[in-house]
């Protein structure tokens, strides 16, 4: 073999090796980032300073609950409220047992798209409550919600409400008194208009600017900020401090990626952080926490905060949103539908 052939063979071999190494490097660069081992450097999981700072407040607030392994229950309040419900009193001549009231309730607790409820006046406490077996009641009231995110109560729904409430009253030998339909429907439309003008469901999308993320990588970083896995694959939540209340924030990414046979191979390039404003109390400072979570996770995961349409959000944009939210909170407070209250959670659902 001539020296020329040897040189060409050598050059070809070097070129082939370079191509293989480049392909390996490219594959490595494009592979989704994986969660670090639980026991990484020095036996400790790597926790960034900014992440620890962002989670410190949450840890302090939950310290007692974590120690007791319980969360407080929400205050028990009657579901019917004249602010957001049509209420029809039902008089009875004799006391009615809770068992009889429960047996007389309709099989469904909805009228069209609106919740329907019946309450009894507890003889012992003097408070309205959902009928309970073993107790006795000397008065009842039936109600239907005036509006929700499906729209305002309409004439057909009001008529269905009358039919259901009358059937219940007949079963317990009661006499209902219904308010004027046109007035209540008009009230529902006005309430729905107010709710439409003061509803806010905010979401930020964090997009990968470099390598994609695996589900485990997202879980690991979000967990450091206080998020826990939700019931739905691809969803995490920042839980409320009271058991049974809606989460303060939620984080979601591609469900199919989370359910893949080998999630570690799923390449995710974005996730969404969301806040349902009327569902969370003002004192939770939910928007500030949403903003900080997006900033920290974006920084530590090489992500860019956008509005979901791909437009990057600046500090000026976020400050403007914060100012608008304060005005929204004030308007809800003035209407006695404060964010996070039972009435607001029902109206904005």
Fold match, 85-196 / 199-347: yes
CA distances from 288 to 54, 73, 182, 309, 318 (A): 11, 25, 43, 22, 10
How do residues 150-175 score in pLDDT, each as one tens digit?
999 999 999 999 999 999 999 999 99
Q: Residues 128, 130, 132, CA angle at the centre, nearest 5°? A: 110
pLDDT tens, position by position, 101-140? 999 999 999 999 999 999 999 888 889 999 999 999 999 9
The overall pTM is greater than 0.95? no
Structure tokens at 39: 């026991």
The pair phi, psi for residue 116, each rounded to 5°, is: -120, 140
For residues 71 and 243, is the Cβ–Cβ distance under 8 A?
yes
Greater pLDDT, 103 or 20: 103
Please give the Cα distance from 93 to 115 (Å, whole number).
28
For residues 192 and 150, give the distance between their C-alpha atoms in angstroms, rounded to a whole number: 9
Q: What tokens appear for 157 in the block?
A: 């729904």
What angle, rounded to 10 degrees, do the helices at 155-171 and 181-197 form? 120
Does the domain made of 199-347 have the CATH classification 3.30.1400.10? yes
Neighbouring residues of 296: CB distance < 8 A, sequence distance ≥ 6 = 48, 50, 51, 54, 225
Q: Write down the domain spans for the chain.
A: 85-196, 199-347
**Tokens coding 12:** 């070809």
User: Among the CATH numbers 3.40.190.170, 3.40.50.300, 3.30.420.40, 3.30.1400.10, which is that of 85-196?
Assistant: 3.30.1400.10
């Amino acid at each position: 073999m001539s020296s020329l052939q040897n040189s060409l063979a050598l050059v070809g071999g070097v070129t082939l090796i370079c191509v293989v190494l480049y392909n390996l490097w490219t594959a490595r660069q494009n592979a989704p980032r994986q969660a670090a081992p639980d026991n990484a450097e020095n036996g400790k999981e790597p926790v960034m300073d900014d992440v620890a700072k962002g989670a410190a407040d949450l840890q302090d607030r939950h310290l007692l609950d974590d120690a007791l392994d319980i969360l407080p229950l929400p205050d028990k309040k009657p579901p019917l409220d004249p602010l957001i419900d049509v209420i029809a009193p039902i008089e009875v001549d004799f006391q009615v047992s809770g068992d009889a009231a429960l047996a007389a309730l309709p099989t469904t607790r909805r009228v069209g798209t609106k919740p329907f409820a019946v309450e009894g006046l507890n003889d012992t406490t003097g408070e309205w409550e959902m009928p309970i077996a073993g107790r006795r009641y000397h008065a009842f009231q039936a109600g239907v919600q005036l509006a929700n995110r499906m729209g305002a109560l309409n004439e057909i729904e009001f008529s269905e409400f009358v039919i259901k409430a009358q059937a219940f009253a007949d079963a317990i030998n009661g006499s209902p008194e219904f308010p004027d339909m046109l007035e209540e429907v008009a009230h529902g439309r006005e309430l729905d208009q107010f709710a439409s003008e003061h509803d806010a469901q905010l979401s930020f999308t964090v997009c990968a600017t470099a390598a994609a993320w695996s589900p485990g990588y997202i879980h690991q970083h979000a967990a450091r900020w206080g998020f826990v896995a939700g019931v739905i694959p691809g969803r995490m939540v920042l839980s409320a401090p009271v058991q049974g209340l809606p989460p303060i924030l939620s984080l979601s990414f591609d469900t199919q990626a989370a359910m893949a046979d080998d999630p570690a191979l799923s390449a995710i390039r974005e996730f969404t952080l969301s806040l349902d404003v009327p569902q969370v109390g003002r004192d939770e400072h939910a928007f500030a926490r949403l903003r900080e979570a997006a900033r920290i996770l974006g920084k530590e995961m090489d992500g860019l905060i956008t509005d979901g349409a791909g437009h990057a959000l600046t500090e000026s944009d976020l400050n403007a949103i914060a100012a608008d939210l304060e005005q929204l909170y004030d308007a809800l407070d003035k209407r006695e539908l404060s964010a996070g209250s039972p009435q607001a959670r029902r109206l904005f659902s």
